[in-house]
Amino acid sequence: MIRILVLFLVLAASARAEDGPRVITLGGSVTEIAVALGAEDRLVARDTTSTFPESVLSLPDVGYIRALSPENILALDPALIIAEGDAGPPAAVEVLRSAGIPFVLVPEATDPAGVIAKIAAVADALDLPGDALAAEVRAGLDAAAGRAADVSQPKRVLFILSLQGGRVMAGGEGTEAEGIIRLAGGVNAGAGFQGYKPMTDEAVLAAQPDAILMMDREGTLSISDADVLAQPALSQTPAAITGAILRMDGALLLGFGPRTPEAARTLHDALYGDGR
């Protein structure tokens, strides 16, 4: 009986090894990279921000990356957890780190070098070659940087994260929003502050954005053109007056993963069209 049990355990372990480790990815860009590296069949769960490619939506959703529940994650018996650097809350991350399961935090990115570093980190965690994917993405990022350098009159772009109580929550310096605006050949109009913070009406008027950029959202998080025009300071900006209000998929726009070259081109074309 003991021999049969031992044999069963050995066979189960062997089958599991052939299938590869059970992996949970937390963060849209981490999931995208894992799939691009050919590891989608290893994934057993994802977080709420992991929505691309569409095939990953069939995986169990363990919650929002910044509001993780360790119990939900550990219940799925992962052999490896790979998370973006902003995973949280800290207490949840600490529980996951101390659970005896390999837990890899991937550095956040706001520029091309950061994207390549992300790819390398995920590839290393999965023990997969990442050079080919990195080279492909690097070529796209180089092309984006070339287009940005050719812009003769860069447009000032204000990224609006939300309109909370009529206040403009905007993307300042050091944000993913600033990074993609620069890569698309624009200038971040949300200067003078770090991170995503509220702007005063005076600061909005002084920013003088040529374009307003937002995530394309639905439901209570959506911001309509009417909402923008109803905000007194925003309504007086060049962007509002000319109707230059742009929206893009949030994961594409701010993800800083394999699709960042596509995001940069899409935003560049929306800002400049065929002109410079």
Q: Is residue 93 domain-shared with residue 177, that is, in the same domain?
A: no
Q: Is residue 163 domain-shared with residue 241, that is, in the same domain?
A: yes
Q: Is residue 99 domain-shared with residue 172, that is, in the same domain?
A: no
Does the residue 167 lie in any domain? Answer: yes
Model's pTM, two decimal places?
Answer: 0.89
Backbone angles phi and psi of 265, in degrees to 5 = -65, -45
Q: Is residue 268 domain-shared with residue 159, that is, in the same domain?
A: yes
pLDDT score of 274 = 59
User: Which residue, 106, 125, 143, sits at the end of a domain?
Assistant: 106
Does the residue 114 lie in any domain? Answer: no
Q: Is residue 263 domain-shared with residue 189, that is, in the same domain?
A: yes
Q: Which residue has the tokens 């069939």?
A: 58
Does the residue 138 lie in any domain? Answer: no
Q: Is residue 71 domain-shared with residue 167, that is, in the same domain?
A: no
pLDDT score of 7 = 38
Q: How high is the mean pLDDT in each 10-residue block of the chain (276 residues)?
A: 36 44 96 98 97 97 96 96 96 95 96 98 98 98 97 97 90 98 98 95 97 92 92 96 97 97 98 74
Does the residue 251 lie in any domain? Answer: yes
Q: Is residue 6 domain-shared with residue 93, that is, in the same domain?
A: yes
pLDDT score of 5 = 31
pLDDT score of 20 = 65
Q: Is residue 94 domain-shared with residue 190, that is, in the same domain?
A: no
User: Which residue, 88, 106, 124, sits at the end of a domain?
Assistant: 106
Does the residue 197 lie in any domain? Answer: yes
- The answer to whether the CB of 248 falls within 8 A of the CB of 128 is no
The number of beta carbons lying within 10 Å of the beta carbon of residue 200 is 11
Does the residue 113 lie in any domain? Answer: no
Backbone angles phi and psi of 51, in degrees to 5 = -125, 0
- The answer to whether the CB of 185 falls within 8 A of the CB of 268 is yes
User: Which residue, 73, 106, 139, sits at the end of a domain?
Assistant: 106
> Where residue 12 sits, what CATH number does that domain have?
3.40.50.1980
The number of beta carbons lying within 10 Å of the beta carbon of residue 143 is 13
Number of domains in the chain: 2
Q: Is residue 160 domain-shared with residue 263, that is, in the same domain?
A: yes
pLDDT score of 165 = 81
Does the residue 146 lie in any domain? Answer: no
Query: Domain range holding 29?
Result: 2-106
3-state SS, one letter per residue, for the chain:
CHHHHHHHHHHHHHHHHHHCCCEEEECHHHHHHHHHCCCHHHEEEECCCCCCCHHHHHCCECCCCCCCCHHHHHCCCCCEEEEECCCCCHHHHHHHHCCCCCEEEECCCCCHHHHHHHHHHHHHHHCCCCHHHHHHHHHHHHHHHHHHHCCCCCCEEEEEEEEECCEEEEECECCHHHHHHHHCCCEECCCCCECEEEECHHHHHHHCCCEEEEECCCHHHCCCHHHHHHCHHHHCCHHHHHCCEEEECHHHHHCCCCCHHHHHHHHHHHHHCCCC
Q: Which residues of 52-84 are buried (b: 16+ CB within 10 A; e: fewer)?
A: beeebeebeebbebbebebeebbeeebebbbbb
pLDDT score of 9 = 33
Does the residue 174 lie in any domain? Answer: yes
pLDDT score of 276 = 53
pLDDT score of 175 = 97
